[in-house]
A and B are shown apart, each in its own frame.
Chain A
């Protein structure tokens, strides 16, 4: 079945460091790919998405490129801030009528000043 594998955390970085959170997937068909963020004490928010191969999603300085050849959707940011401290989830949307989301386990990021 479809699945998402996400690098384990926690990840701890200093402010202005470069961030990469790896995400790979297995899926039939052509899923859409998402990164969601959950700030402490809050619900999930969509960070960015890509709907087809080679698409690049970007938002708030974060980027991820849909790589079909490597079945990956790695999240990157060139310079993290303390306010980026959160849990990041990679997810894919199945094709079909219900199109439910398949989730990675989440990666906790802590950015120190």
Chain B
């Protein structure tokens, strides 16, 4: 089946640094990638939708300059959290639309100290 590989699974970074999260579609072409954030014991919050070769569409309230999304190829989308702060600590998940619905990456646990 369609698999999205997300890396890293866990990352700890210092406040003020930037962190890049990668999602690769292994056996299909991901035209559209969704990026979610999940707070503890809460649902997924859609941050942005990216289409290959064009600018991402951000949801209301999501800072596009802080959460940089790049979808330069049909198999790779990246989310860069710039100048990370402790409040950015969260679980980030990517998702691609496939024929039967959606497939998800395994998520990245970001801890900013």
Residues of A within 8 A of B (CB): 32, 34, 36, 42-46, 49, 89, 93, 98-101, 103-106, 108
Contact = CB atoms under 8 A, between A and B. Distances in A.
A57 to B, nearest CB: 11
16 contacts: A34-B101, A36-B104, A43-B93, A43-B104, A43-B105, A43-B106, A45-B104, A46-B100, A46-B102, A46-B103, A93-B102, A98-B32, A98-B49, A101-B44, A101-B46, A105-B42
Interface in B56-107: 57, 93, 95, 97, 100-107
Nearest to B97: A99
Interface of B: 6, 32, 34, 41-44, 46, 49, 57, 93, 95, 97, 100-107
Contacts, number: 49
A98 B96 CA distance: 11
Contacts of B49: 98, 100
A105 B102 contact: no
Given A43-B6, A89-B43, A104-B43, A49 B105 contact: no
Contact of A103 (B32, B43, B97, B107): B43
Nearest to A44: B104
Contacts of A99: 97
A50 to B, nearest CB: 11
Contact of A106 (B32, B34, B42, B95): B42
A101 B43 contact: no
Nearest to A6: B43
A108 B105 CA distance: 20
Contacts of A34: 101-102
